[in-house]
Structure 1
C-alpha cells in the first residue's frame, strides 16, 4: 500500500476542492478517475467494475480495522439501489483515521468470506494507493427506520438461483437486496431491541425502532417466523470492532447503535464502532404450573451435549430448571445427552455417569428421584458431536403413578417391534430403537420407543432427535451438508438436510401406524427435537396419515417457538399426541427459560404437556 498525505483540513467542503488540486498520484493506465463509490457498488450483488482498476475514488473514512478501512461518499447519488460505502483492504493496520477524507486508487475485487460458496461477497478495493485530503470531517450516517426501512417479509424472490448472476435487484421489496444496497455504509439503529441473545461469537440480532413495523413479534420481545416470512428486517450487531454486551431477548440499549454494514457467515452484520451498553428490560424466565393429582406431565428437554465431564454448574442449572421451572415432570424426553467421556474420543459409549450426575443434581435441588432408560449407541455412529455419542432417553419419576415396562433385549442395532396382545399394542423391546439400521438414521440419532403405565393406563412414547438443519454448525465448517443460509448466495436457500428428516419422519410414522393397526385407541406420544417447523414436509410426513396431533402447531404464533437463531424465533421441539390422548383434557406449554437468554443451560426451551389421564 502506498500513502500520500495531503492537507489536513477540517471542513468537508474543502474535500471537493482538494480533489481538483495538483499533487495527487497519477492514475494507472486504464484506470477510471471519475468513478464514485456508488459506481463501484452498482445495483447488484457483484460490482460492475469487478477486476478493474479505479483511481482517486473519494470518500470519508467511517471505520478502521486491522486489515483495512471503510469509507463513504458524503455526496451520494439519488439511486438508493447503489451503496455509498466500501471497504479498502490494506492487509495491515491502515494509517488513516476515522474522519479522514481520502481518495483511493486500486483494484475492485469481490471477497467471499471464508471462501465458502454459499456466502455472498463483499465488494472491496485492493492493492490501494491513497491520499489523505483532510481530517476531522463529520461522518455520514443512514438511520434505519427513518432514512431507510427494510422489507418486512421477503428475503429474495423472483430470481431463483445464483443472485450474483441475476439481473433482478429489488431493494425496496427484497431484504437481501436492501441490505446489499447499504453494504459498507455507516448505519445507525435507534431504539434497537434485541430479538436474540448474545451468542458465543458476540453477535446480537436486533430490530430498529423497538421493532416498529416488524411482522409478528413474540409476546416476549422476539420476532417469529412464518412459512414465507423469515424476517428480513433483522440485523445482527457484531463485536468485530467494538464490544457487544451480553443481552437477552427484549433488552434495549442506552444509546443509538452505530456501525458499518458488512457481511460474514451467511449474514449482513453491523460492525458497531462504539461499545453498546445494555438496558436490561427483557422478560424474566418462565415457570410452568405443577401438575394436578390426576394429570400426567410429559416434557421435552434438550441438555445440549451434557456429559459427565461437563461443569457441575451446568448440571445444577439443568436441575434447577427441571425442579423449579418445569415442576419435576413425570416423564422427560431427553436429547443431546453424551457419554461419560464427552468430547474425548476413547471408545466410551456408556452414559451412566452422566445420568447419575444429573439425577443427583435434581435431588440436590429438591426434586424427586428419577430413573433412566435408554440404549447406548455404537461408537461414533449417531452424529452430532461425534465422539460424544449423543443419544435420546427417558428420565422419569415413579412416585406419582408412572412406571416403565421393561422388556429386555434392546441394543444399538436390534429394532423393537409391535405385537398384538389381547387386542392391545405392545413393544417387543422396551426400551428399544426403531429401525436403527434404516438409511434414514445413518450418522444420526435413532428414535427410542418405551412402554409406560400410568395408574392402569398404558402408553407408548417415542423420543426423537432428528437430523439437524446445521444452523449453528455452519460456523464450524458445515456447509455442503447443512441448510444454506437465509441471506446466502443461492435463493431460495437449499434445505440440504430436509430429505433426511422426511425419511426419518416416515420411519416413525410407519411405526405409529403399526401400533394403530392393532389398537386405533392406543395412547401414543411422539416427542423431542424434530428440528423442523410445524408446516414443514418432515412434520407433514409424520402427521398426515397417523392421526397424531402436533401441540406446538396449535399455539398462537407469538408463543410458538422453542429456539432462537440469528433473531428468528421458531419451534424445533414438539410433542404429538394420538387422538385418544388428544381428546383428553390437556394443557401444553413452551417454558421460555433458555433460548432467549445469553446465560442458558441449553439453546432450546423445554416443552411440557399435562394430560388428565386417570
Structure 2
C-alpha cells in the first residue's frame, strides 16, 4: 500500500517525482530551445566548473570533450557555498530567464531557488571543448528555423547547445581592447585574410565572422589594476565556461586573464596640405562639449562629463593639429551645444567650437574659423538628450575662402529627428568645392546579433532614404555638370557595402560618387570597432573628376584603445588643385 501511495502521489505532484529522482542535465534541456520541465522542480548532479557572485555552473563529468548538452546554470542570487571541483546535487525549479529591459535577448535556461548538497570536493573537472583552428568550429550560419538545437546547424545553436560547458581557446588574437566590464573580443586564429597589421578584423559583405569569441574576465579573480588586452595581443591562456548575458554568448574565465604586452603605434598622416594640395578631414568627436554638466539639469550621472578637465578636448586638438596635420577643412560630427547634456533652451555651440579651436592652436595647429548652424529646436536632431548634437565645420581662412551665400542645413523629411546635413562652399586656388557634412540615423535600437531572430537593425530604412535625399540635392545642384567639385562626407552609420552607400554611390549610373574608402585594401577599410568587428561607417565620397585628384587615408588614434578621445577614427583626403589658371 505504501508503494502505491507514493506512485499516486507522484502522479498528482509530478515535480516531487523529478526532485526525488535525479535527472541528467541533458534530460533537463531536452532537444529543443525550450527545456522539458519549465517551472517544475527537478534534481540533478554535476561538477561545479565556475562560480560567480550570484550563480554557478555545473557540468556532467566526462573524461573527453562531450558533444552532449551537459552544462547548466544554477542561480542563487547570493554567493553560494560551493567551489570549483565540487560534485553537487541540486534541487531547484527549471526557469527560462532574460532581463526585463532586454526583450530581444535570447532566454537562458537555469535552476532557481536551489537546494544544494555537496557530495564530494576536489573532483576532476569535465574535459573542456577546444575552440579554434585546431579544435571545434563555430558554424558560419547565424541561425536556422529548426526548433531543435543542432550545434552543427548554426552559431546560435552551437552556443546554445554548449552553454554552461567548459571551453578552452587555443591560438588566438585579441581584436578589440578590453572594455570597462572586463570583456575582450578574440579571434581563435593567428591569421585571417581580413586580420590587418593593426590587429583588427575588418567587416566583410560576405562573412559575419561568427568565429569571433567574447572573453569575459572572472570578476572574482581579475585584479582591479589588470592591464587591458590590446588588438594584436593574446592571452597566456583562456579556460572558462560558455554562458550568455547582455545579448552575447561568451566564455567567462576560471582564472585571471594575463595579456601578453604588445606595442601599438599611432602614425601621423602622410598627407600634408601644400600650395597645390587641399586637405579635408572628417571626424566624429563623440558628444563634445566645454563644461561639466550639473546633476540637477541632466537625466542621470552618466550624462555628466568633463571634456576639458579629462584632457579629451586637448587630445582632439592634438589629433587635428598633429595627427591630421591641420587640414584646411574639418567636417565635425557630434558637436554638442554650450551646456552639453543639460536640459534647457541653449542651442548654440560657439563655446564648444571655440574650445576645440583653442586646443588645436595650443597643439600648434591653424587658427581656424568655425561654422555652426544650431538645430531649430531643443533635441530636434536626436542624440544624447539635451546635447543638441549637430554637424559643424572648422576651416582655415588663410587657406580657403567661404563662398556666398554661406552655409545652410539641408531640410528634407528624410532627416526628421536626425542630424540635418550641413552644406558649405569653399574656394581654394580658384577651385570651388561644395561639401555636405552628414551624420545619418544611428543604429540605436538594434537587437543583438545573437538575439531573437530576425535581427532588428536600427535605422535600416532611414539611412537609404537619407542617401536618396542627398542624391536629389546633388541632382538639383548639377553636381556633375557645374563648375564646383562636390564632397559628401561624415558619419553615415553604415558599411561601405550597405544599401545606403549603394544608393549614395549609384555606381552604375552616369552620375556616380566615388567612395574614397574603397580605394584602400578591404582589410584596411574601418573607422569604428563594434563587437570585435572593424567597421567602415565614416566615409568621404567625391564626384569623379575630384576622385582623379585624390589621395586618402584613415588615421587610427582611438578605436584600438580603452581610453579614447572619441569612438570613431578620423578620415583625411588630399586633393591636387593647382591654381585654376594653370589647369
TM-score range, shorter chain: 0.7 to 0.9
**Alignment match, 2:91:** 105
Instruction: For residues 181-239 of structure 1, give each alpha carbon's deviation from its aligned partner in whole angstroms, at most 9, with x where no partner exists.
Output: 220112222344211122243321112243x5x56312311112112322111111224
Distance of aligned partners of 1:115 and 1:370 in 2 relative to their CA distance in 1, 3 Å threshold: closer
Aligned counterparts, 1:442-591, within 5 A: 442-470=416-444, 482-491=445-454, 493-516=455-478, 519-520=481-482, 522-544=484-506, 545=509, 546-584=511-549, 586-591=550-555
- Deviation at 1:278? 2.4
Look up the SS of the partner of 2:112 in the other structure. Answer: strand
Indicate the residue corresponding to 2:167 in structure 1.
Answer: 187
1:498 aligns to what SS in structure 2? coil
Higher mean C-alpha deviation, range 147-156 or range 258-267? 147-156
- Partner residue of 2:307? 311
- Equivalent residue for 1:125, pick from 102, 111, 114: 111
Are the counterparts in 2 of residues 218 and 557 from structure 1 also a CA contact under 8 Å?
Answer: no
Preserved CA contact (<8 Å) 1:191 1:256 = no
Deviation at 1:246, TM superposition (A): 2.0
Number of the residue aligned with 1:398? 397
Q: 2:184 aligns with which of 201, 204, 212?
A: 204
Aligned to 2:478, what secondary structure does the other structure show?
helix
Q: Within 1, Cα distance between the matches of 2:111 and 2:132?
A: 29
Alignment of 1:129-140 (within 5 A): 129-140=115-126
Distance across 1 between alignment mates of 2:334 and 2:415:
15
Residue equivalent to 1:431? 407
Structure 2 CA distance for aligned equivalents of residues 228 and 316 of structure 1 = 40
Equivalent residue number for residue 383 of structure 2: 384
Q: Equivalent residue for 1:247? A: 229
Contact 1:186 1:258 in 2 (8 A): yes
The two structures, once aligned, show a CA RMSD in angstroms of 2.3
Distance 1:599 1:70 in 2: 33
Larger mean Cα displacement after TM superposition, 106-115 or 324-333: 106-115
Give me the TM-score of the superposition, normalised by structure 1: 0.83
Match of 2:466, SS state, is helix
Q: State which of 58, 62, 68 in structure 1 corresponds to 2:49.
A: 62
Tell me the distance in 2 between the aligned counterparts of 1:517 and 1:239: 53
Corresponding position of 1:336: 334
355 and 452 in structure 1: CA distance in 2 versus 1, 3 angstrom threshold: same
The secondary structure found in structure 2 opposite 1:305 is strand
SS across alignment from 1:48: coil
Instruction: Give the secondary-structure state (helix, strand or coil) at the position aligned to 1:595.
Output: coil
Instruction: Report the 3-state secondary structure (helix = DSSP H, G, I; strand = E; otherwise coil) of the residue aligned with 2:473.
Output: helix
CA distance in 2 between partners of 1:514 and 1:547 (Å): 15
Task: Tell me, in whole angstroms, the C-alpha distance in 1 between the residues paired with 2:480 and 2:78.
Answer: 71
1:271 aligned onto 2:252: yes
Cα distance, 1:280–1:385 mapped onto 2, change above 3 Å? same
Local SS of the residue matching 1:99? coil
Flag as ranges the 4+ runs of structure 1 deviating above 4 A.
76-79
Deviation per residue, 1:400-457 (Å, 9 max, x gap) = x3121242xxxxxxxxxxxxxxxxxxxxxx210011xx33222211100001101100
Instruction: Provide the C-alpha distance between the structure 2 equivalents of 1:152 and 1:283, rounded to a whole number of angstroms.
Output: 32
CA contact (8 A) 1:103 1:131 kept: yes
Summarize deviations over 1:498-531 as a string: whole Å, max 9, x none. Answer: 1111121111111111122783553000000000
Q: For residues 277 and 246 of structure 1, what CA distance do their matches in structure 2 show?
A: 9
1:475 matched to which residue of 2?
none
Is the contact made by 1:522 and 1:578 (CA closer than 8 Å) also made in structure 2?
Answer: no
Aligned-pair distance for 1:33?
2.7
Task: Please state how far the C-alpha of 1:118 moved relative to its aligned partner.
Answer: 1.1
Tell me how far 1:463 sits from its aligned partner. Answer: 0.1
Structure 2 equivalent of residue 427 of structure 1:
none
1:15 aligns with: none
Consecutive unaligned residues of structure 2, counting only runs of 5 or more, are: 1-13, 292-305, 579-583
> Residues of 1 paired with 2:120 and 2:204: CA distance?
50
Check conservation: 2:288, 2:307, Cα contact below 8 A: no
CA drift at 1:44: 3.8
Contact residue 297 and residue 610 of structure 1 kept, 8 A: yes
The count of aligned residue pairs is: 539
Q: CA deviation at 1:268?
A: 0.8
Corresponding residue to 1:174 among 135, 146, 154:
154
Q: Over residues 488-507 of structure 1, what are the superposed CA-to-partner deviations in whole Å (9 max), with x where a residue is unaligned?
A: 1213x122411111121111
SS in structure 1 opposite 2:468? helix
1:433 and 1:308 map into 2 onto residues whose CA distance is 24
- Rate the CA distance shift 1:92–1:581 in 2: closer, same or farther, 3 A: same
Query: 2: distance between equivalents of 1:268 and 1:258?
Result: 15
Q: 1:379 to 1:456 in 2, by over 3 A?
A: same
- Tell me which moved more, 94-103 or 201-210: 201-210
Structure 2: how far apart are the matches of 1:229 and 1:85?
A: 29
Q: CA deviation at 1:353?
A: 0.9
Residue 154 of structure 1 contacts residue 229 of structure 1 at CA under 8 Å; is this kept in 2?
Answer: no
Cα separation, partners in 2 of 1:524 and 1:32, compared to 1, 3 Å: farther
In 1, Cα distance between equivalents of 2:59 and 2:500: 47
Displacement after TM superposition at 1:374 (Å):
2.1
5+ residue gaps, structure 1, are: 1-25, 160-165, 408-429, 471-481
SS in 1 for 2:386: helix
Please report the TM-score for the alignment, with normalisation by the length of structure 2. Answer: 0.87
